[in-house]
Structure formats: C-alpha cells, structure tokens
Amino acid sequence: MLKIYGIKNCSSMKKAFDLLNELGLAYEFHDYKKQGIDAGSLKAWLDAKGQDVILNKKGTTWKKLSEQQQQAALASEAGLIDALATHSSLIKRPVLQTQQGYIVGFDEAAYRALK
C-alpha cells in the first residue's frame, strides 16, 4: 500500500489526494503536522532523494529561520534531520512512499505510472 506524508491543508497535497483517488489507488495518509515525523523516516528520505529534493528552501518556514538555524540545518545530516523534525513545513510535499521508492513533490506522470 502507498503511504503519503504531508499536511492536510496544502494545494499540492490536495492534487495528490485527488489523483490517487481518481486512479483508485489505496493509500495511508500520515499528517506530520499532527503526528510528527521520526528521524528514521527523514534519514531514509534523505538517503534516497538527497537534501536538495527533501528540503524546501522556497517556503516561508525556511526564510523565517535565522541564519544560524539555516546554517545548523545545512552543517550536517543530524542537524538537517533535527530541523526537519522540528519544522515539518521544511519538508517538500507530498512525500509518497511506494514499493519502488519515494516520489517527492506532486508529479502527476509519476503518480499515473503507479497504476
């Protein structure tokens, strides 16, 4: 079964939910605003996709961090995992876990290929 990570009120998440439902694909939703996100999941995502894909530097959450907080997040994997766990809005949405790996960000073609 697919597992989708993100937050409920997000336009990218809405597109992802709508398409998964349209395709008839069953999924489990993990709302990391309500449920949090564990370091193990974050490490797996970073290992699979890399910091540049997982970390959303374009969002307001990143821009609101102090320069010291940004530098601490970028200084090490542990620092980045801590920042992502603390500020889950820094994670690009959605993260879709499939049997083949992860799809990060809404990618209609990649979702349709799951069917």
Q: What is the pTM of this model?
A: 0.94
Measured distance CA(95)–CA(111) in Å, rounded: 12
- Peptide bond preceding 94: is omega within 30 degrees of 0, i.e. cis? yes
Q: Determine the pLDDT at residue 23.
A: 97
What 3-state DSSP class applies to 80? helix
For 40-97, the pLDDT digits (tens) are 999 999 999 999 999 999 999 999 999 999 999 999 999 999 999 999 999 999 999 9
Res. 24: pLDDT tops 90: yes
The question of whether 10 is a catalytic residue gets the answer yes
Find out if CATH 3.40.50.170 is the number for domain 2-112.
Answer: no
- Residue 26: how many other CB atoms lie within 10 Å: 8
pLDDT at position 5, please? 98
Beta-carbon contacts of residue 12 (< 8 Å; ≥ 6 apart): 6, 93, 94, 105, 106
List the catalytic residue out of 2, 10, 44, 114.
10
**Which pLDDT belongs to residue 36?**
95
pLDDT at 115: 84
Tell me the domain boundaries of the chain: 2-112
